Chains A and B, each alone.
Chain A
């Protein structure tokens, strides 16, 4: 299941004002996140949601903590039962990045950003090994531990371990046919 959430639309519904395009204040952030969670409530076992910042003017630290960090923290939480929620962040510009980077560092989180040309990259707190593995999975498409090990020149057990870590962090999806990077094959340009 794939969903697209335009944050500026959610913001306008939340603060009941057509004029506001800035994600500021913690209560606003909490309300926007609650709205996103409500939209995700019906999601099935595995869902990918594009969180679109394209029409958001700016975001402050408090709002980034509520909207970005808490959303990600919940997605990586083990208390979500069998449901796996993945997020791809679109339309993030320099105007948003300062606040987002700050909260990712604070909570030691990472996320996948869609770039202007439709490609994807991981940002935030990511180890070198995790980054190399993610980029290889992104490049290869659907990948198993053996393919990744071979591509990286690593042991299969190490490849499996890093794939597990990336999966736990919701940076790659685990399917029956292998692992797919969030923002990778079949999930670009929805």
Chain B
């Protein structure tokens, strides 16, 4: 029997939880159909997380593309189907990618090794400068920090995940919560996740409460790494600093928990526990358009 997993009409970091909840009762080797027929919009997080979902299935899953031509065409331009066809049996109308997408700063790109991070950073720099300065009114100097942020979150895959993941960067107008343009980095993998990564540290003593939420607090808030090297753990700390400076948001989901550094413009919950389990780590960084009187 095939379990049908329905992708919500609007797929982002919050609504992806509906997908994960549906999957929770389905064994990894069971047949599933990921049904995105009625999906009209997806954030870079949604698209990269769907690809990681494909990685988690022991039995190759089926995937039904969105019925809406415009949506499917957009997904094709982000590079989604290029990687989806390696992971899923695709159904429905899958358009060929034609031409670039102006709102896509970085189309979906696999991150497996250190060289991929070089590639990603090299490709983003020039375009990021244009977008940050012209569309988001952010000082051109912020471009370097943006590239550093992108580099550090991608490196988490290379250094800790134990398997490849994907990154995508996109701008769009976030009407629902913010009413402003944002630039969003999404980095998702289906690797070992934060808890298992930290557990692999030699001589590590676990507390009574040790779980995914505490692992996320340790890594994201306290800069703890599985490596003994005192220079480790600076990457996510640097990401937090950058995000704070530009009134942005960072959220990290891993296992059954999700932690977020929440700016004043958002009403997200800083820590969510006991979520339906999902392998690996899924990171989203959001930098909003700067408005008069906002952070420099």
Interfacial residues, chain A to chain B (CB-CB below 8 A): 15, 17, 19-22, 24-28, 57-58, 60-62, 65-66, 69-70, 94-95, 98-99, 102-103, 106-107
Contact = CB atoms under 8 A, between A and B. Distances in A.
A90 B147 CA distance: 22
Contact of B234 (A17, A22, A25, A102): A102
Given A17-B115, A22-B122, A58-B144, 11 more contacts: A15-B115, A24-B117, A24-B148, A25-B158, A26-B114, A26-B159, A61-B234, A61-B238, A62-B151, A98-B144, A102-B241
A61 to B, nearest CB: 4
Interface of B: 114-115, 117-118, 121-122, 125, 141, 144-145, 147-148, 151-152, 155, 158-159, 230-232, 234-235, 237-238, 241
A22 B147 contact: yes
A57 B118 contact: no
6 contacts: A26-B114, A27-B114, A61-B152, A61-B235, A94-B144, A106-B230
Contacts of A17: 115, 118
B231 A25 contact: no
Given A24-B151, A26-B155, A65 B231 contact: yes
A139 to B, nearest CB: 32
A107 B145 contact: no
Contacts of B147: 22, 24, 58, 60
Contact of A28 (B118, B122, B125, B237): B118
Contacts of A25: 114, 117-118, 151, 155, 158
A19 B122 contact: yes
Contacts of A94: 141, 144
A95 B155 contact: no
Nearest to B147: A58
Contact of A22 (B118, B152, B230): B118
Nearest to A16: B115
Contacts of A106: 230-231, 234
A106 B237 CA distance: 11
A127 to B, nearest CB: 21
B209 to A, nearest CB: 28
B122 A62 contact: no
Nearest to B118: A20
Contacts of A58: 121, 125, 144, 147-148
A58 to B, nearest CB: 5
A62 B148 CA distance: 10
B138 to A, nearest CB: 15
Contact of A107 (B125, B159, B231): B231
Listed from nearest, the 8 A-B pairs whose CB atoms lie closest are A65-B231, A60-B151, A61-B234, A25-B114, A61-B238, A24-B151, A27-B114, A95-B144
Contacts of B115: 15, 17
Contact of A62 (B141, B144, B152): B152
Contact of A70 (B117, B141, B144, B231): B231
